[in-house]
Amino acid sequence: MTKVLYSPASPYSTKVRMAAHYAGIPMESVLVDTNAAPAELINANPLGKIPTLILDDGKALYDSRVITQYLNRVSGNKIFPRNAEKRLEAEQLESVADGLCDVLLTHVYERRFHPEEKIHQPWLDWQWAKAIRVLDYLNAAPPRLGKKLHGGHIALAAALAYASLRFEGKWEKGRSKLKRWQKRFEELHPELAALLPK
């Protein structure tokens, strides 16, 4: 069976696991600690990042957007719309949601990997400004949400769950539409919400 190397707090891993579940693609989830650089991960992905997918024939796939496109192909377009314009919209939403994860992760890593005196606050401020812009942009017009999902919705749900996990109380103020979107996603899709980090 296809394996996904993941960690429950990793938003890109959450996205991929939710997308596989949504598309009905069975997958064995293998918990890895990227900080320990385990051989199974490094041998599959020289970047040592998760998620990394390992197919039955041993082929490895990364990063998460390569994986969601792969899942879309093998599921017969269950993750991205066939219509070109709608597909571009979904891919763009996935990209901006992943970009939000990138800046949030930069914050987490700056603090995790540097001693206090080496933390560079202007760099953190620069990154945080991006997070604020993305959150405001999304809050101004949250994507339409229903039972039928695409990869952009799934990526956004994963990104907001990560924001709540690491920055609870710091991102929600003044963004009630986005907060409601997050809640509604969880109400409409409890089986996917079960994969979100809590």
Ligand X SMILES: N[C@@H](CCC(=O)N[C@@H](CS)C(=O)NCC(=O)O)C(=O)O
Taking CB under 6 A as the binding criterion, the range among 19-27, 58-66, 83-91, 183-191 that sits at the site for ligand X is 58-66
10 binds ligand X (CB under 6 A): yes
CB of 81 to ligand X, least distance (A): 21
Binding range to ligand X, per CB under 6 A, among 6-14, 72-80, 88-96, 181-189: 6-14
Closest CB to ligand X among residues 63, 89: 63
User: Of the candidates 12, 22, 171, 181, which one interacts with ligand X according to CB under 6 A?
Assistant: 12
The distance in angstroms from the start CA to the end CA of the chain is 27
- Residue 159 CB burial class (10 angstroms; 0-12, 13-18, ≥19): buried
Please choose, from the candidates 170, 167, 197, 164, the residue with its C-alpha nearest in 3D space to the C-alpha of residue 182: 164
Binding flag, residue 34, ligand X (CB under 6 A) = yes
Binding flag, residue 48, ligand X (CB under 6 A): yes
- CA 83 from chain center: how many Å? 23
Q: CB of 104 within 8 A of CB of 166?
A: yes
Site residues for ligand X, 98-137, by CB under 6 A, read 98, 105
Alpha helix (H) residue ranges in 35-175 = 39-44, 64-74, 84-113, 121-140, 151-167
Q: Which of 49, 87, 130, 179 binds ligand X (CB under 6 A)?
A: 49
Name the site residues for ligand X (rule: CB under 6 A).
10-12, 34, 48-51, 63-65, 98, 105
